[in-house]
Amino acid sequence: MNRIMISGRILLLGALAVLGGTTASQLLAHGDVTPQAVDTSALPDIGEEWLEKNPYSGNAKAIEIGQSAYGQNCARCHGLDAESGGIAPDLRYLEQGESGDQWFAERYRHGSSHDGKVYMPPFGDVLGQKTGWAIRAWLETKFEG
Decide if 109 contacts 102 (C-beta within 8 A): no
Decide if 130 contacts 86 (C-beta within 8 A): no
Q: What is the pLDDT of residues 126-138, one digit of tens each?
A: 999 999 999 999 9
CATH assignment of 39-141, given 1.25.40.10, 1.10.760.10, 3.90.1150.10, 1.10.10.10?
1.10.760.10
Decide if 133 contacts 62 (C-beta within 8 A): yes
Q: Give the mean pLDDT of the chain.
A: 86
Q: What is the pLDDT of residues 80-108, one digit of tens each?
A: 999 998 889 999 999 999 999 999 999 99
Question: 106 vs 15, which has greater pLDDT?
Answer: 106
Question: 85 vs 54, which has greater pLDDT?
Answer: 54
Nearest CA to 130 out of 26, 29, 51 is that of: 51
Q: Can you give the pTM of this predicted structure?
A: 0.77
CB neighbour list of residue 108: distance below 8 Å, 6 or more residues apart: 122, 123, 124, 132, 135, 136
